Amino acid sequence: MALLEVKKLGISFGGLRAVDDFSMSIEKGDLYGLIGPNGAGKTTVFNLLTGVYKPTDGTIFLDGQNLTGKSITTINKAGIARTFQNIRLFSKLSVLENVKVALHQHYNYSALTGVLRLPKYFKTEKAMNERAMELLEPFDLQEDAMTLASNLPYGKQRKLEIARALATEPKLLLLDEPAAGMNPKETASLMNTILTVRDEFGVTVLLIEHDMQLVSGICEKLSVLNFGQLLCEGLTGQVLSDPEVIKAYLGE
């Protein structure tokens, strides 16, 4: 059975049908790409998958669990984590704290333990620090652990968002335009990072991207959205040479 099973997903904003009859199936361990021209509804699909929007039609199943219409929090706990197209970090917290906040599902103590500074507080904080540093390591962010998130350069902010999403130990990681605004060198390093994330953390990755270098470089399968509808899906090579896809991107 597929890890993520989306069937006939649809949402309307007033009269506008933003996503219509969208189905997708992602196997465990896939590195899956979702592409399409601007305004095709890619981010809307992410927002539907993570519970930011409630779908008007269709179903979403993760690992056999029905997540249709669940809250953002519930969906994250079930195992979907995401990054955002416009970076959303906790800007006034340090890099380390950004990751530590996201560890709360696996390392936690009550507020009272924290206020009274019981032994469990020190033990858990130490474990959290170690785990957070482990998560920062593949992203080369260890040196910046004490820096405020808002003071990081752009490329590192993107990486920190991925590290934070991984801290919730998701089964499926959604990356919304991870290479946006990066130069070719940064993009190349990001491609390696994404591969590392998939292989070392054992996470299935679904990403939205416009950068065709990245898409053709690491994605194994693709779905193409156009005007809110699925245009084409399949292996990357086949999809990118499909005349319909080329037409949607470049026009006739």
Q: Is 108 in the site for other proteins (CB under 8 A)?
A: yes
Binding to other proteins in span 41-80, by CB under 8 A: 50, 52, 71-73, 76-77
CA distance 249 to 227: 12
CA nearest 18: which of 51, 57, 50? 57
Q: Is 201 in the site for other proteins (CB under 8 A)?
A: no
Pairing of strands 31-35, 204-208: parallel
Q: What is the smallest separation between the CB atom of 197 and other proteins, expressed in angstroms?
A: 16
* Token couple for 132: 């957070």
Look at the block and give the residue holding tokens 């196997």: 27
Binding to other proteins in span 15-44, by CB under 8 A: none
The 121-160 contact track toward other proteins, x by CB under 8 A, reads: x--xx--xx---x--------x--xx--------------
CA distance 240 to 249: 10
Q: Which of the stretches 8-16, 27-35, 54-62, 115-123 binds other proteins when contact is defined by CB under 8 A?
A: 115-123
Q: Which of the stretches 119-127, 185-193, 226-234, 235-243 binds other proteins when contact is defined by CB under 8 A?
A: 119-127
CB 201 within 8 Å of CB 21: no
CB 23 within 8 Å of CB 8: yes
CB 197 within 8 Å of CB 173: yes
Q: Is 117 in the site for other proteins (CB under 8 A)?
A: yes
Binding to other proteins in span 163-192, by CB under 8 A: 164-165, 167-168
CA distance 65 to 53: 18
Residues in the site for other proteins, rule: CB under 8 A?
50, 52, 71-73, 76-77, 81-82, 84, 88-94, 96-98, 100-102, 104-105, 107-109, 111, 113-117, 121, 124-125, 128-129, 133, 142, 145-146, 164-165, 167-168
